[in-house]
Each structure stands twice: as structure tokens, then as C-alpha cells.
Amino acid sequence: MNTRQQLIERLMFCMLHFRKGIVHSHEGKELTLPLAQSEALFVIGHAQSLGIGQLARHLSITPGAATQLVDPLVEMNYVQKLQDTQDRRTTNLELSDEGKTFLDSLRQHKTAKVTKIMQALNNQELQTLTMLLEKITKSLNDNGEGK
């Protein structure tokens, strides 16, 4: 019989491989970005406009690390740095049109990848997994750990 600790360790191992399965896809090489930059694009796209400090908090990194992460995205013309109209000291990050197009393609690619992976589950199993992950996500957010 498995102890709770053994189950948690098995879960962590599975989560690592699940993430690798999504991130390390051999399809869509033109959509390849380092994972941290992809995550930054998703956060910026979801927020539509946010400061570097807000991005850093979402990614659980320092503002300096967030700046280093975003600078290549600016160079690739995926992200724009715009001065806040009400506070000139503040710079907001937004997706450029090219960044929005890239993010849409990246989302489609990731959705297709997850759809393929989830073929291992029937609809009931997928629904159960989704409900459990939503419960965990809510717990993380309620505890301030998922932000």
C-alpha cells in the first residue's frame, strides 16, 4: 500500500514528465522559445498590459530577471515596452501584433499537443482530472502560491 508521501512523489514524477511532454515537442520547431519566455508571453497576453514587477511576481522571479527575460522578446518584436501615460516612471509590457499572432500559434500548438496526450484518458477520466487540477489550482490561489 502506498503512503501519502509515496503518492506525492509519484505525482511529482508524473508532473515532470507531463510538462516535458508538452514543452519538448518535435513538431512546430518554428514555435520554439525557451520555456520561461513562453510563460512570460502567456502572462503578458493574459493580462494584456502589466509592469515588469507584476510579471516578475506572476513568474516568481526578481524584476531584474524578468527584464532579462523580456528583452529578447522585445528584440523579436513579440513584446512592446510602453511608457505609462499617467506615470512616466512606469513601463508597461504589451504584446505586439506579431506577438499576439505568435502566441495564438503557440496556444494552438500546445492545445493540439495536450489533446494528443489526453487521448490516453476517456471523457470521464479527463473530467475527473480537470476537476482535481482545478481544486488544486484554487487551493494554490487561496494560499497566495499560484499567483
CATH at residue 41: 1.10.10.10
Q: In terms of residue numbers, what domain contains 134?
A: 32-142
* Residue 140 confidence (pLDDT): 86
Query: Is 5 contained in some domain?
Result: no
Q: Is residue 65 part of a domain?
A: yes
Looking at the DSSP assignment, which residues form a beta bridge with residue 51? 92
Virtual torsion, Cα 125, 15, 120, 137, nearest 10 deg: 30
User: Could you tell me if residue 20 is inside a domain?
Assistant: no
Asked whether the beta carbons of 138 and 147 are under 8 A apart, the reply is no
Examine residue 24 and state whether it is found in any structural domain, yes or no.
no
Q: Please state the pTM of the whole predicted model.
A: 0.74
Indicate whether 39 belongs to any domain.
yes
Residue 44 lies in a domain: yes
Q: Which of 95, 109, 106 is nearest to 46 (CA)?
A: 95
Residue 22 lies in a domain: no
Q: What is the pLDDT of residue 27?
A: 52
pLDDT tens-place values along the chain, 147 residues long: 679 999 999 999 998 888 877 766 545 555 678 889 999 999 999 999 999 999 999 999 999 999 999 999 999 999 999 987 888 888 899 999 999 999 999 899 889 989 999 999 999 999 999 999 999 989 988 877 655
Q: Is residue 82 part of a domain?
A: yes
The total number of structural domains in the chain stands at 1
Sheet holding 79-83, edge to edge: 50-51, 91-95, 79-83
